[in-house]
């Protein structure tokens, strides 16, 4: 009688397209997910629930619904999903983009806003941007003068932006003898892995085993080892540079050409922060 008269209430979930067993709605995303989601939202409405593998995903497709999520209920939706790749490569999601909402995230965001991305700091790197753009133009001009030499503009633009980021963050381009940028190769590999499909992110109950078998887990560990060794060496070199400079340093010149690592080390060693940042925190934020 109890089961007959007191039936459990059905959860009031948002509209959802029909799904398949195990994979849910993954098959409906296609090669262009943004277009597939737009098409599905026209049928199921601006607030739609999908099941990507074992993971429920709420899809917002209107300005009104976006305001509800990002303004009215912003604290409820403040945390970004911590993917397997982000946890592996970003020191347990200690960067600004993936760190959970809380005191650490607030302090890291404050540092980035006031110390790294302020108008004054961005303007101080104008000379870096000017030099790299000049180098880009010279490469294009040189290539135009050679009839038998083709030029990959996409790679050239990526290389230029990478050089600018590398110099602003770490003070140099890290070019090998043959002109290849070591930071470019490392950052490109990390970017590919962070955006790659990870079975464990969509099938938490068994996906980790699949990722180990297919070698994705090993790729993450190997990439993190290379990243950590690279950034640890950069941090130590900056510490040595500051130590060697001692009292002979030109304060005005140093202040105008400090890179992000210099700023983070200076903040870490000072008493102006409300939160103590470890070296791993520093490397994650810089990365």
Residue 195 included in any domain? yes
Question: Is residue 151 very low, low, confident or very high in pLDDT (cuts 50, 70, 90)?
Answer: confident
- Residue 55, pLDDT > 90, answer yes
Residue 113 included in any domain? yes
Question: Is residue 277 very low, low, confident or very high in pLDDT (cuts 50, 70, 90)?
Answer: confident
CATH number at residue 123: 1.10.630.10
Model pLDDT for residues 71-130, shown as the tens digit of each residue: 898 888 888 888 999 999 999 988 888 899 888 888 888 888 887 788 888 888 888 899
Residue 269 included in any domain? yes
- Residue 248, pLDDT > 90, answer no
* Confidence (pLDDT) at 107: 86
Residue 197 included in any domain? yes
Mean pLDDT score of the chain: 84
More confident of the two residues 243 and 82: 82
Residue 11 included in any domain? no
Domain containing 254 equals 103-286
Residue 109 included in any domain? yes
Residue 73 included in any domain? no
What are the DSSP calls for the chain, one per residue?
Answer: -HHHHSPPPPP-PPP----BTTTBTGGGT-S-HHHHHHHHHHHH-SEEEEEETTEEEEEE-SHHHHHIIIIITTTTT-SPP--HHHHHHTTTT-STTTSPSSHHHHHHHHHIIIIISSHHHHHHTHHHHHHHHHHHHHHHHHHHT-TT----HHHHHHHHHHHHHHHHHHSS--B-TTS-BHHHHHHHHHHHHHHS--HHHH-TTTHHHHHHHTTHHHHHHHHHHHHHHHHHHHHHHHHHHHHHHGGG--HHHHHHT--HHHHHHHHHHSS--SS---HHHHHHHH-
- Residue 246, pLDDT > 80, answer no
Question: Is residue 24 very low, low, confident or very high in pLDDT (cuts 50, 70, 90)?
Answer: very high
* Confidence (pLDDT) at 43: 92
Q: What is the mean pLDDT of residues 148-153?
A: 75
* Confidence (pLDDT) at 178: 65
Lowest mean pLDDT among 84-98, 150-164, 225-239: 150-164
- Residue 154, pLDDT > 80, answer yes
Q: What is the mean pLDDT of residues 37-59?
A: 92
More confident of the two residues 82 and 143: 82
More confident of the two residues 193 and 7: 193
* Confidence (pLDDT) at 4: 54
* Confidence (pLDDT) at 169: 84
- When divided into structural domains, the chain yields a total of 1
* Confidence (pLDDT) at 148: 67
Model pTM score? 0.79
Residue 94 included in any domain? no
Model pLDDT for residues 175-217, shown as the tens digit of each residue: 766 667 777 788 889 989 998 999 999 999 999 999 999 999 9
- Residue 136, pLDDT > 70, answer yes
């Amino acid at each position: 009688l109890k089961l007959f008269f007191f039936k459990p209430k059905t959860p009031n979930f948002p509209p959802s397209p029909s799904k398949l067993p195990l994979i849910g709605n993954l098959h409906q995303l296609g090669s262009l997910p943004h277009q597939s989601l737009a098409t599905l939202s026209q049928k199921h409405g601006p607030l739609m629930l999908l099941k990507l593998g074992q993971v429920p995903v709420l899809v917002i497709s209107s300005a009104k619904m976006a305001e509800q999520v990002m303004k009215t209920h912003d604290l409820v939706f403040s945390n970004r999903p911590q993917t397997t790749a982000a946890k592996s490569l970003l020191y347990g999601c200690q960067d600004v983009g993936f760190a959970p909402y809380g005191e650490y995230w607030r302090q890291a965001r404050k540092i980035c806003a006031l110390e790294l991305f302020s108008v004054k700091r961005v303007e101080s790197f104008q000379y870096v941007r000017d030099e790299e753009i000049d180098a880009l133009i010279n490469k294009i001009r040189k290539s135009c003068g050679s009839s038998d030499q083709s030029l990959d503009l996409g790679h050239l633009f990526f290389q230029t932006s990478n050089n600018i980021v590398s110099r602003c963050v770490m003070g140099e381009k890290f070019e090998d003898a043959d002109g290849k940028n070591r930071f470019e190769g490392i950052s490109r590999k990390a970017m590919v892995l962070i955006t790659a499909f990870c079975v464990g992110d969509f099938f938490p109950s068994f996906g980790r085993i699949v990722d180990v078998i297919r070698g994705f887990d090993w790729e993450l560990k190997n990439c993190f080892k290379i990243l950590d060794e690279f950034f640890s060496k950069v941090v130590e070199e900056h510490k040595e540079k500051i130590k060697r400079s001692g009292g002979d340093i030109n304060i005005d010149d140093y202040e105008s050409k400090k890179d992000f690592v210099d700023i983070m080390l200076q903040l870490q060693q000072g008493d102006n922060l409300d939160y103590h940042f470890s070296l791993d925190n520093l490397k994650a934020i810089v990365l």
